[in-house]
Structure 1
């Protein structure tokens, strides 16, 4: 049974990838920090990786911004459980709108 939504969770907005422009999709994946987030989320089962568990070379506020950009571009779905926010890569939905783009990003060498 899913946990009840927290106040923070009710403020989450998830953009349908069909509503994202190519420019916005490209802008979202242009940043190397966001690409590293996508690769790490892709390597985990859905909703098992919390935002605070990523070792990112940016402040917490900047990391939050990066997650918000990925959510706004239709790449991430997030859910709050207690005090943590967990992530799911919206691979299938995104691939319908931008075939091959995510595969290129995920296959990129560091």
Structure 2
């Protein structure tokens, strides 16, 4: 239980052994989702808000992107009351596809700084 007395729940995600390369790459092929993954690369939970990612899209569109990332096995979502937070499943992804996320995030970060 969290300190404020609210329970945390998780949305279902694929088992690490069930994460497949093609769905991961398809999820990463979208520029918005790639930007989200780059933001989540620190391994911490981040709020599911448009402001957190600096992306000019509707909240419903952002929710769709989060769902796509979660179903591909890239992220996990924590729910506390009405607050949703998402984080990259870095350890699971590194175990399944060594170096993939670090490479993709590195390239995405270089492109943003140009």
List runs of 5+ in structure 2 lacking aligned partners.
none
The size of the alignment, in residue pairs, is 104
Secondary structure of 2:24's aligned partner:
helix
- The aligned residue for residue 13 of structure 2 is 14
What's the TM-score once normalised by structure 2's chain length?
0.79
Q: What does residue range 16-95 of structure 1 map to in structure 2 within 5 Å?
A: 16-43=15-42, 46-47=44-45, 49-52=46-49, 53-95=52-94
C-alpha distance 83-35 of structure 1, shift in aligned 2 (>3 A): same
Paired with 1:38 and 1:94, the residues of 2 have a C-alpha distance of 12
The offset of 1:62, in angstroms, is 1.1
The offset of 1:50, in angstroms, is 0.2
What's the TM-score once normalised by structure 1's chain length?
0.82
Paired with 2:88 and 2:105, the residues of 1 have a C-alpha distance of 11
The structure having more radius of gyration, on CA atoms, is 2
RMSD: 1.8
Paired with 2:68 and 2:95, the residues of 1 have a C-alpha distance of 19
The offset of 1:99, in angstroms, is 1.3
Paired with 2:104 and 2:16, the residues of 1 have a C-alpha distance of 16
Aligned partners of 1:17 and 1:75 also within 8 Å: no
Q: Deviations over 1:6-56 (max 9, x none)?
A: xxx57x22122321221111101111111110111123x522x10113322
The offset of 1:102, in angstroms, is 0.2
Q: Which runs of 4+ in 1 moved over 3 A?
A: none
Matched, 1:4 2:3: no
List runs of 5+ in structure 1 lacking aligned partners.
none
